[in-house]
């Protein structure tokens, strides 16, 4: 009887954890500054790699640090309230508390470098039409699930061997 109760408890816990994980993936986050990718990419002419150089060098693209923003925004360039908040952070040396939106589970190894440099995938493949975004990410553009990744690997004729991604 105790064994059945334990099995039921573990099963319920697994379903609850899965439900919370799904809910977290759908939850919209409130970013501290209304960052406009469109303005930076289309109007100014920057590329994704100008602010996210780690996307070609490392496993993670990373959220740009304050110095990356300070390279152009020591002083306001526009009348934007969002930019004014950014300049305030820069002048005070206070990092912007961006919320991480794109998460890969800790048991999964994902390398941006492998996908951008070796596979030659564009950022849009996983992050959607970033250059059209006038507001910051509040949730992932793509589901970033195992099924979604496996489907891409299959379409691209890339190995789906478990040990390539799972630690």
Proportion of the chain above pLDDT 90, given as a percent: 76
Backbone angles phi, psi at 12, to 5 degrees: -60, -40
Which residues have a Cβ under 8 Å from the Cβ of 70 and sit 6 or more positions away? 90
Count of C-beta atoms within a 10 Å radius of residue 48: 20
For residues 118 and 82, give the distance between their C-alpha atoms in angstroms, rounded to a whole number: 36
Reported pTM? 0.77
For residues 62 and 56, give the distance between their C-alpha atoms in angstroms, rounded to a whole number: 11
pLDDT value, residue 109: 93
User: Do 131 and 41 touch, CB atoms closer than 8 A?
Assistant: yes
User: Do 137 and 30 touch, CB atoms closer than 8 A?
Assistant: no
Q: What letter does residue 139 receive in the DSSP assignment?
A: S
pLDDT value, residue 167: 82
Convert the pLDDT of each residue in 2-47 to its tens digit.
Answer: 655 444 444 444 444 444 444 445 567 899 999 999 999 999 999 9
For tokens 């809910």, name the residue.
23
């Amino acid at each position: 009887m105790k064994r059945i109760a334990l099995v039921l408890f573990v099963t319920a816990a697994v379903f609850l954890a899965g439900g919370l994980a799904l809910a977290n993936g759908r939850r919209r986050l409130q970013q501290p500054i209304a960052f406009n990718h469109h303005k930076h990419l289309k109007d100014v002419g920057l590329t994704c790699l100008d602010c996210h150089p780690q996307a070609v060098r490392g496993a993670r693209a990373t959220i740009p640090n304050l110095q990356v923003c300070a390279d152009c925004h020591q002083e306001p360039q526009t009348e934007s309230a969002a930019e004014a908040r950014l300049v305030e952070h820069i002048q005070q040396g206070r990092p912007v508390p961006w919320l991480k939106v794109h998460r890969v589970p800790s048991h999964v190894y994902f390398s941006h470098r492998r996908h951008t440099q070796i596979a030659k995938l564009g950022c849009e493949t996983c992050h959607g039409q970033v250059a059209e975004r006038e507001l910051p990410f509040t949730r992932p553009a793509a589901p970033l699930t195992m099924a979604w990744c496996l489907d891409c690997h299959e379409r691209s004729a890339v190995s789906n061997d478990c040990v390539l991604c799972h630690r």
